[in-house]
Chain A
Amino acid sequence: MNLTDSNDYAQTLVRGSVVVLLGLWLAWIWLPILWDLFTGVSVNPQTDPPTLIPREVTLEHYVNVVQEEDILTYIRNSTIVTTVSTAVSVAVGALAAYSLTRWDPGNGQVSFFALSMRFLPPIAVAIPIYTMFVGFGWINSWRALIVAYLTIGIPISTWIMLIFFQKIPVELEEASRVDGWSRIQTWRRVVLPLAAPGISSAAILTAILMWNEYVLALVLTTTSDAQTVPIYLAGFVTTRGVLWGRMGAATIIALTPIVVLAFVAQERLVAGFTLE
């Protein structure tokens, strides 16, 4: 009787500490993000620091960020560059990954090549690309970023789809070929539906990487005609001087789509990140 009591007690203690520790963990993750949120709605966060429950809430900083700082222009640039470059990367990567899992031309050399691309530091790619694009007259344009981002997008999307496609049984394709379907019919009706989760995981992850990219955008763009959201945000520190309220508001605007994505597409994301 006593024994079970003390066991129960120990159990409760352990359970309690697990709950407390995980609570601390989640607070550590979310407090900084909440702080951005609170700073962005405080009237004057620089002289009157935000409190956990804001005394007075204002949307002034959000209005300023949109109207005076024109954040929407940077969002437009980021959206165009990310969309086009992701689409190209995933299309090209899907073909490559399919071929590598089915026939492996070059006996592993090609996939090793794709993987080794990730060891190239972005700045070591940015410097020569910069010289090349100065020659083309491409500096400060969308196409400069779209093309440069392929160095990130193709290796990562190929890699993720490679792992996904390996799980699609070849037998299914062979069976449908035997049933008299053409190769194209087989792809459309058998391969594509099975490959869809891998393709969407790759697309989401590639898009996030490009949306967040900083180094190449810093080197290749110079004005709001082509600059992306991260460059705009870094400007709070590097060029415009720290305006806390606007910084909080802009940060929240920039991170919301990503956090929403984390919940909406969690399954695809988790699958992609664990393979990354």
Chain B
Amino acid sequence: MSTADTTSGWREAVRRRLADERTIAWLFVLPAIALLATVAIYPFLQMIYDSVFSFSQAGQREAFVGVENFARVLSDSRFTGAISFTVIFVFIVVTVEFLLGLGISLLIYSPYVERRQLFVVLSLPPMMLSPVIAGLTWRMLFNVEYGLVNHVFALNIDWIAGRPWAAVAIIVTDVWMWTPLFVLVFASTLQAIPKVYYEAAEVDGMGRWQRFKWITFPQMRTAIVIVLLLRVVRAFKVFPKIQVLTLGGPGSYTESIAMITYNYGFKFFDLGRASAAGVIYWFVMFVAAFLIFRAVAEDLITPEDS
């Protein structure tokens, strides 16, 4: 009798709790938060902790060394070289992809083209491939003896092992892979601009350039900001593409931050230094994203005002 009472009392409490939407709201987000906390946040904090210890080659934590790992990483010319290579790489590829993507999407949405969706879809494949596939594909094309690139342009350039050609090869591969994202995003933005705007502009006697400046560009601003942010963040992670194209060579000329961080941990078997490099890497990315975000925050909040 009393057990039944407690049970039904307990059930009633649960039912009342579930009727409260706040409880359900938190119950729904809980699995996502719990899983991310276990597989991302906890390891991330662990890495920060590990970065102040020395490790044995076998991966055992040995002694507290303070900031020594950071000092060693930051004074390593291979690491600082990787930072500058990555920053320059990100700047060049994102700029080229943006301009090329804008140009192509404007061509697709010029009045002379029919079946626009088909053009967009035909442009997609490279961005859906694994960077490993993109890298291998271009490695064949850039081969010094039999590669299509040297053959077509009658060149004799060692794209994989020469300077600055190795860097050019990586940039070309990345541009091939990621310009389609800009085309896709810009094309779907252009598609959404109401025709009436252009009709009104025509009545007002606006020229082609004025129409772009006063209608097209302002309408695309939010999309531009978002896609730039995404690409910068993603380009900073560059690694597999380089791994299969040049292995970071010649020497360590094309090593990216991700690559040298990996090498610290799994080539030199020094998890302490790898952790310190990982912390610095994350910090560089965070600062870059933060700066862009702050520079464009206004656009994100009030995209309609311009």
Judge whether A237 is part of the interface by a CB distance below 8 angstroms.
Answer: yes
How far, in Å, is B197 (CB) from chain A's closest CB?
A: 21
Q: B127 to chain A: which residues have CB within 8 Å?
A: 273
- Within 8 Å by CB of B28, from A30, A95, A128, A258, lies A95
Closest B residue to A134 by beta carbon equals: B59
Which size bracket describes the interface of B in this complex? 35 or more
Does the CB pair A247–B29 fall under 8 Å?
Answer: no
Judge whether B35 is part of the interface by a CB distance below 8 angstroms.
Answer: yes
Judge whether A65 is part of the interface by a CB distance below 8 angstroms.
Answer: no
- Within 8 Å by CB of B141, from A19, A35, A234, A261, lies A35
Query: A123-B262, A236-B136, A238-B247 are contacts. A117–B40 as well, Cβ < 8 Å?
Result: yes
Contact mask A1-41 → B, CB, 8 Å, 1/0?
00000000000001100110110011011111101100100
Does the CB pair A229–B108 fall under 8 Å?
Answer: no
- CA gap between A273 and B289 in the complex, in Å: 20
Does the CB pair B25–A105 fall under 8 Å?
Answer: yes
- Within 8 Å by CB of B44, from A22, A124, A154, A255, lies A124
Q: A30 to chain B: which residues have CB within 8 Å?
A: 122, 125
How far, in Å, is B57 (CB) from chain A's closest CB?
A: 14
- Within 8 Å by CB of A234, from B125, B137, B240, B275, lies B240
Which size bracket describes the interface of A in this complex? 35 or more
How far, in Å, is A95 (CB) from chain B's closest CB?
A: 4
Q: B230 to chain A: which residues have CB within 8 Å?
A: 276
- Within 8 Å by CB of A274, from B110, B139, B185, lies B185
- CA gap between A262 and B281 in the complex, in Å: 33
Closest B residue to A205 by beta carbon equals: B128
Query: A45-B146, A96-B31 are contacts. A121–B278 as well, Cβ < 8 Å?
Result: yes
- Within 8 Å by CB of A237, from B25, B119, B122, B136, lies B136
Q: B261 to chain A: which residues have CB within 8 Å?
A: 121, 123-124, 127
- CA gap between A262 and B247 in the complex, in Å: 30
- CA gap between A266 and B128 in the complex, in Å: 12
Closest A residue to B258 by beta carbon equals: A123
Does the CB pair B107–A124 fall under 8 Å?
Answer: no
State the main secondary structure of chain B at its contact with A: helix
State the main secondary structure of chain A at its contact with B: helix
For window 42-72 of A, CB contacts with B under 8 Å fall at 45-46, 49
Q: A125 to chain B: which residues have CB within 8 Å?
A: 40, 43-44
- Within 8 Å by CB of B25, from A26, A49, A102, A120, lies A102
Q: B146 to chain A: which residues have CB within 8 Å?
A: 45-46, 49
Query: A49-B146, A96-B29, A258-B128 are contacts. A251–B137 as well, Cβ < 8 Å?
Result: yes
- Within 8 Å by CB of B125, from A96, A110, A155, A262, lies A262
Judge whether A158 is part of the interface by a CB distance below 8 angstroms.
Answer: yes
Judge whether A84 is part of the interface by a CB distance below 8 angstroms.
Answer: no
For this complex, 19 residue pairs linking A to B, each with C-beta atoms less than 8 Å apart, are A21-B107, A35-B137, A46-B146, A95-B29, A96-B31, A113-B36, A117-B40, A123-B258, A124-B279, A128-B50, A150-B35, A155-B36, A212-B128, A230-B130, A230-B132, A230-B240, A258-B125, A263-B121, A270-B121
Complex A-B, nearest 7 residue pairs according to Cβ-Cβ distance, in ascending order: A128-B43, A99-B28, A212-B130, A103-B25, A214-B240, A124-B278, A96-B32
Interface residues of B (CB under 8 A from A): 21-22, 24-29, 31-33, 35-36, 39-40, 42-44, 46-47, 50, 59, 104, 107-108, 110, 112-113, 117, 119-133, 135-141, 146, 148, 151, 176, 180-181, 184-185, 188, 230, 233, 236-237, 239-240, 243-244, 247, 257-258, 261-262, 265-266, 271, 274-275, 278-279, 281-282, 285-286, 289
